[in-house]
């Protein structure tokens, strides 16, 4: 436990002798890009000093993606495939990949070639310098519409104000994590997995590398504005209780005004009698308060819904098939610089690959 909680650069891995790298790739309907993606990634991994595994997580693709992945598994001994039982969404797919990744360093990368695999050697260098987390900051978002950019900016600003943690802007899921950072992430039991928030929550020595985010190589994005809105809602409700507070303060304020006004009316009626004016005031007040109450109830409902999901304690994901890499990551002869066994014990994931 101490290993995870002591955030010291000196305690990070010093992978001088030999190291292993896991690359986690969530895949959902990416048949158009997969072959090209794998070609580019494999070329990069051929050039690095350490041993590598590629953990593809098939997130319930409905295209020929799984067949393609099985082919890659046959032709490349570094390839592992986790076939989820259905589409669980990218956050869960990444979690499944991280749960199975056994490298001293783990890189999470999109399959659509928006995150260039050619950046991996630079990320490894930053990790070797002693950083547990290497964030990739997008220098340009050239391909994205101004509306998407503006909404993203507004979201990060809102998160920054309301949240308890700072979520770096212009940083996606493309990043490198050390074994102990991954072990830390495995200890999060929550079902609402706002990965950007979780990544930020764990802390550890961290550095950033800037890169140019390419456009999608082929296929199309799975994000539409409705999904993005829900994603933002997930982020805010997972990491901030400020909306609940706003709801209660608004209620308090309105009640205060209502009491003062009520007192005024009572006194006025007692002194001057009541000639029955004020019908519009009544209607306006009823509508206003009704709206306010519904809004507050809605906010409470959002949190309640998430509690409902959490208390059910359902498994995060189900795996229907697991293809272990033909050439598993081996611990270097000299012994790893960090106690990988201890890191994994922390993670409490007994046996990464089921025995075949």
Q: Which residues pair with 298 in a beta bridge?
A: none
- Listed in order, strand segments (DSSP E) in the chain are 20-27, 51-58, 79-84, 105-108, 133-140, 171-178, 206-212, 319-323
Shortest approach of Mg ion to residue 249 CB, angstroms?
A: 39
Shortest approach of ligand UDP to residue 87 CB, angstroms?
A: 5
Q: Could you give the dihedral angle defined by the CA atoms of residues 57, 63, 67 and 72, in that order, rounded to the nearest 10 degrees? A: -60
Shortest approach of ligand UDP to residue 181 CB, angstroms?
A: 20
Shortest approach of ligand UDP to residue 345 CB, angstroms?
A: 29
Q: Which position among 62, 75, 143, 221 is part of the footprint of ligand UDP (CB under 6 A)? A: 221
Q: Is the CB of 37 or the CB of 194 nearer to Mg ion?
A: 37
Q: Which residues pair with 178 in a beta bridge?
A: 105
Angle at 118 between CA 213 and CA 84, to 5 degrees: 80
Q: Which residues pair with 136 in a beta bridge?
A: 209
Q: Is the CB of 93 or the CB of 346 nearer to ligand UDP?
A: 93
The answer to whether 30 contacts Mg ion (rule: CB under 5 A) is: no
Binding mask 255-294 for Mg ion (x = CB under 5 A): ----------------------------------------
Which contiguous run of DSSP H or E holds residue 92? Answer: helix 90-100
> How many other CB atoms are found less than 10 A from the CB of residue 85?
11
Q: Is the CB of 299 or the CB of 323 nearer to ligand UDP?
A: 323
Instruction: List Cα–Cα distances, 269 to 75, 187, 255, in angstroms.
Output: 89, 63, 21
Q: Which position among 83, 99, 110, 170 is part of the footprint of ligand UDP (CB under 6 A)? A: 110
* Cβ(80)–Cβ(56) below 8 Å: yes
Choose one: 27-35, 38-46, 175-183, 184-192; the region binding ligand UDP (CB under 6 A): 27-35
Q: Which of residues 98-157 bind Mg ion (CB under 5 A)?
A: 112, 114
The answer to whether 31 contacts Mg ion (rule: CB under 5 A) is: no
Contact residues for ligand UDP, defined by CB under 6 A: 26-28, 30, 59, 87, 89-90, 93, 110-112, 114, 221-223
């Amino acid at each position: 436990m101490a290993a995870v909680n002591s955030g010291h650069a000196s305690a990070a891995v010093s992978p001088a002798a030999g190291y292993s790298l896991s690359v986690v790739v969530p895949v959902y309907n990416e048949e158009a890009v997969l072959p090209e993606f794998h070609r580019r990634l494999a070329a990069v991994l051929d050039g690095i000093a350490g041993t590598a595994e590629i953990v593809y997580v098939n997130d319930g693709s409905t295209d020929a993606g799984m067949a393609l992945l099985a082919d890659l598994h046959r032709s490349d001994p570094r390839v592992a495939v986790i076939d989820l039982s259905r589409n669980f969404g990218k956050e869960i797919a990444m979690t499944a990949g991280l749960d199975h990744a056994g490298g001293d360093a783990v890189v999470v990368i999109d399959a659509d070639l928006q995150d260039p695999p050619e950046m991996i050697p630079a990320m490894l260098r930053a990790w070797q310098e002693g950083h547990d987390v290497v964030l990739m900051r997008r220098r340009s978002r050239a391909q994205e519409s101004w509306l998407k950019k503006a909404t993203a900016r507004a979201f990060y600003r809102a998160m920054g104000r309301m949240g308890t943690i700072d979520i770096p802007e212009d940083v996606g899921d493309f990043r490198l994590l050390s074994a102990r950072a991954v072990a830390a992430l495995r200890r999060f039991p929550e079902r609402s997995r706002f990965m950007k928030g979780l990544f930020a929550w764990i802390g550890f020595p961290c550095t950033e590398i800037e890169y140019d985010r390419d456009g999608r190589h082929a296929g199309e994005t799975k994000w539409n504005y409705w999904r993005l809105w829900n994603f933002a809602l997930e982020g805010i409700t997972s990491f901030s209780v400020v909306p609940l507070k706003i709801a209660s303060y608004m209620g308090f304020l309105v009640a205060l005004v209502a009491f003062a006004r009520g007192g005024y009316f009572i006194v006025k009626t007692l002194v001057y009698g009541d000639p029955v004016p004020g019908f519009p005031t009544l209607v306006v007040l009823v509508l206003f308060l009704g709206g306010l109450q519904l809004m507050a109830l809605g906010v409470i409902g959002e949190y309640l819904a998430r509690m409902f999901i959490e208390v059910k304690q359902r498994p995060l994901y189900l795996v229907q098939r697991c293809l272990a890499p033909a050439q598993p990551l081996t611990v270097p002869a000299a012994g790893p610089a960090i106690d990988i066994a201890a890191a994994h014990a922390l993670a409490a994931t007994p046996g990464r690959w089921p025995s075949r």
